[in-house]
Structure 1
Amino acid sequence: MPEHDPGFRHATIPALTLGREVVLPRAAEAMVWSGVGLPLDAVAVPGVLLGRGDVLVEVELTTVCGSDVHTALGHRPADRPLVLGHEQVGHIVAVAEQSYASNGMPLRVGQRVVWSVTVSCGTCQRCRRGVPQKCLQLAKYGHERMRRGWELSGGFATHVQVRAGTAVVVVDEQVPATVLAPASCATATVVAALGAASALVPLAGATVLVTGAGMLGLTACAMATDAGALVVVSDPDAARRQLALAFGAAAVADPGAPTESPTGVASVLTALLQAGAAEPTVALELSGARSAVQCVLDLIGVGGVVVLVGSVSPGEAVPLDPESIVRRLVTVRGVHNYTPDDLAQAVTYLSGAWHRHPFSALVGAIFDLSQADAALLKAATACHPRVGLSPQPPATLG
């Protein structure tokens, strides 16, 4: 691993730009996944050729997403070798010509940034339709096979080559890295999910059912509560139910409780109705569990909207009663990834919300980059929704 000045900031490791070629004083390093059961390999990358619109970012902190763990365990298909990681924050150390933030402002060396999980072409039919996250030429950080010309393609590295077509958002130096890193996946995805719901049902005054109290569920709880909703969070883990209360949940439920139990989801919603609350008209399914999908479809109220987010891996089919959906005027929407505007809104939200909600506490242990295998193992078993991975000494993290 390269050594770093304990007082690290972006100026400590300047990059020499020769045209669009970036030669680093010390080679960048990426931790490369080559297959299930194999340790990650450290690969040195001494130079980077930036294309028009690209920037090179030195990573401050990467958080380990559940999809990183699923890939490493072989639960989802992935080309290999690849550099995992798509939730991160860092400082720009080199800029190619015509490099812009998502708001149109020119990017410059020294700025602290987060960036989207996707790279979109901007010109295909889907991009023109307003769904760039499903671009016909889509590439994704932390999901692509490592190749010559884009070796630094994931957050499990000292640097990431952020390509043109990526939404880049400049962020405040004062907001902790532990708060900002998840913006690139979890937070922006929740913004997209709540946007899909609120386009049909206003959040203010609504009763919102959230299934799953991981990173997305806790974020959704905080956001919906801040928008004026009464939020009920369902999760089988008692510690996570307790954490949901700290993020503003009005009530929590145990999906594994017996039907007649007062802690079951239906019983909790019934008790709130009897106390004067509205029936649930927004449901966010964030766990991917088949039983949770069935639960939100069964319990959503008349005129309600169900937003499915967690079902990103193949699973058993869920029975659907079309008559019930029709008679209750239910809308079912799917959300996967997000738009540049969603990422910008996520950053804006976190910049204020981290003072109101304990977002910084959601990242547990922070591992050195060389301990990426241990970080993946910890992420698979940790009580915290996220663990961190950093090439920086812990004392230097913002």
Structure 2
Amino acid sequence: MDTQTRRLTTSAQVWNGGQVFEAQKLEMPELAAGEAVVAIDLATICGSDIHTVTGRRAGPSPSILGHEAVGRIVAVGPGGVRDFLGKELLPGDRVIWSVTVSCGSCDRCTAGRTAKCRSLLKTGHEPLGGPWGLSGGYASHIHLPHGITVVSVPDRVSDAAAAPAACATATVMAVLEAGGDVRGQRVLVSGAGMLGIVACAVAAHRDAASVEARDLNPERLELAREFGATSTRLATEPATSSSHDVAVELSGSQPAVLAALESLAIGGRLVLAGSVAPGPNVALDPERVVRSLLSLTGVHNYEPRHLQLAMDFLADTQRTHDWDSLVATPRPMTEIGSLMQQPQGRILRSSLAHHRS
């Protein structure tokens, strides 16, 4: 079977800076070994893309944004492509793919930090005229280069659950790994957006003694309880100090970072993952860190194993948690400009689908 692209094209929403998106038809490259083309079934809009479009974070333009998506293999390069578990992928197979593409051979990759590869490429973050121009999910098809992690999606996991796994769910797996074994531990989840809701569910699934969620939004706190939080607290309310063994800070708010640090008990561990945009410095009391044996670490993106762990978790919990309820009904790709704003209430992700005739 010839699985080359045969001049396949993608219909993409190209971001030209600001709020401007332009529909373009672009030709796929000839596939090299280890590469694939995927037809995108659903793409969700991560908050980081909203930050890019609104100017809070820098991004190259023109480019194709979008790094949370799910789709089906339509073509593979010479020698074929395998998923993370080693299964050979064939046209029609349903997959998700990682945010990062690494070389696998530099000092950072060999040290297990592929997310900081010295020649890193990022899904939905590359310039249209660069070496990986067709990198984004806001299109009918995406080109997957050699070095990207591909994970198969079980039939029982919906598109709405699978798409955010490529960023939010996999990142939570990395965050909680950095926080250590939470079994029997008192866990604080600071920020009840998509990452926070997933973190509540994962901590509860891993038998944390308690899971407290903090946020400014009462609706999000109610949602956190439905997904595993045993208690909730408005971020504006005073918190009990020295009450948590593990704190994960996912909002990026300076007051929230301070509150999470202050909440740690003796031997407590704080993982920062929400602070991905410039903000004010946070005052640190080094004496308390020393005397209380505290640990502080940061997590940015994730490693290949975390993407597989995310999919396994979704498959295990698809009957106990309504993941679909967190994602809005998909809108046509042509409406992308109007969806570049934070969704309200209990919806945590807007979504897009490409119309196929």
TM-score range normalised by the length of the shorter chain: over 0.9
The alignment status of 1:292 with 2:276, answered yes or no, reads: no
Choose from 175, 178, 198 the match for 1:219.
Answer: 198
CA distance in 2, matches of 1:138, 1:295: 34
CA distance in 2, matches of 1:16, 1:43: 27
Q: Quick check: 1:385 aligned with 2:324? A: no
Question: In 1, are the aligned partners of 2:97 and 2:151 still within 8 Å (CA)?
Answer: yes
Q: What is aligned with 2:223?
A: 243
Cα distance, 1:42 vs. partner? 0.6
Which residue of the other structure, out of 23, 28, 31, is the alignment partner of 1:50? 31
Shift of 1:67: 0.3
- Deviations along 1:305-348, whole A, 9 cap, x unmatched? 00000000110000000000000000001001001101000000
When residues 303 and 382 of structure 1 are mapped into structure 2, their CA distance, relative to the original with a 3 A threshold, is same
Aligned partner of 1:11 in structure 2 is none
SS in 2 for 1:288: coil
Q: Which residue of 2 aligns with 1:69?
A: 50
Local SS of the residue matching 2:350: strand
TM-score where L is the length of structure 2: 0.95
Task: Report the equivalent of 2:6.
Answer: 22
Is the 2:215–2:235 Cα contact (8 Å) retained in structure 1? yes
Paired AA for residue 220 in structure 2: R
4+ residue runs of structure 1 moved beyond 4 angstroms?
380-383
AA paired with 2:348? Answer: P
1:149 CA drift (Å) = 5.9
Partner Cα separation in structure 1 for residue 270 and residue 231 of structure 2: 19
**Over residues 35-77 of structure 1, what are the superposed CA-to-partner deviations in whole Å (9 max), with x where a residue is unaligned?**
113x200110244321211110000100000001000011111
Residue deviations 1:68-94 (CA, integer Å, cap 9, x gap): 100001111111111110001000000
Query: Which of 219, 236, 243 is the aligned partner of 1:256?
Result: 236
5+ unaligned residues in a row in structure 1: which ranges? 1-14, 260-264, 271-278
CA deviation after TM superposition for structure 1 residue 383, in Å: 4.8
What amino acid is aligned across from residue 186 of structure 1 in structure 2?
A
Q: In structure 2, how many angstroms separate the alpha carbons of the residues matched to 1:250 and 1:382? A: 20
From 161, 165, 185, the equivalent of 1:206 is 185
The counterpart of 1:312, out of the listed 276, 294, 301, is 276
SS in 2 for 1:71: helix
Matched, 1:197 2:153: no
Q: Offset of 1:299 from its aligned partner?
A: 1.0
Contact map agreement 1:175 1:351 (CA 8 A) in 2: yes
Alpha carbons 2:100, 2:123 under 8 Å: kept:
yes
CA shift for structure 1 position 389 = 0.7
Letter of the 1:63 partner, please give it.
Answer: T
Pairs within 5 Å for 1:80-91: 80-91=61-72
Secondary structure of 1:297's counterpart equals: helix
Match in the other structure for 1:321: 285
Pair 1:117-2:99 in alignment: yes
SS of the aligned residue for 1:153 comes to coil
Conserved 8 A contact 1:197-1:306: yes
What's the C-alpha RMSD, in Å, of the aligned pairs? 1.8
Post-superposition Cα deviations, 1:352-387, rounded to whole Å, max 9, x if no partner, equal 21211121111023211111112213x355651101
Distance 2:14 2:98 in 1: 21
Q: Which residue of 2 aligns with 1:170?
A: 152
What code does the residue aligned with 2:191 have? G
- Give the drift of 1:197: 0.9
- Partners of 1:380 and 1:313 in 2: CA distance: 20
1:196-245 deviation digits (Å, cap 9, x = unpaired): 111xxx31111100100000000000000011111000001010010011
Identity %, equivalent residues:
40
**Contact 1:115/1:184, CA 8 A, preserved across alignment:** yes
Supply the AA of the counterpart residue of 2:310. Answer: A
One-letter code of the match for 1:350?
Answer: L
Would the aligned equivalents of 2:219 and 2:345 in 1 still touch at CA under 8 Å?
Answer: no
Q: Decide which of 78, 81, 95 is 1:97's aligned counterpart.
A: 78
Rounded to whole Å, the distance in 1 between the matches of 2:249 and 2:317 is: 22
Report the counterpart of residue 155 of structure 1 in structure 2: 137
Q: How much does 1:105 deviate?
A: 2.6
Letter of the aligned partner of 1:163 in structure 2? P
| Corresponding residue of 1:370 | 334
Q: Using the alignment, how far apart are the partners of 2:28 and 2:223 within structure 1? A: 44
Alignment CA distance shift 1:232-1:90 (3 Å): same
Per the normalisation by structure 1, the TM-score is 0.86
Q: Is the 8 A contact 2:93 2:152 kept in 1?
A: yes
* Separation of aligned partners in 1, 2:329 and 2:18: 23
2:112 is matched with 130
Q: How does 1:329-348 map to 2 (within 5 A)?
A: 329-348=293-312
The Cα shift of 1:144 comes to: 0.9
2:271 partner letter: V
Q: Using the alignment, how far apart are the partners of 2:151 and 2:314 within structure 1?
A: 13
Match of 1:106 among 74, 83, 88: 88
Larger Rg: 1
- Aligned pair count? 355
Q: Is the 8 A contact 1:86 1:155 kept in 2?
A: yes
> Matched residue of 1:203: which SS?
coil
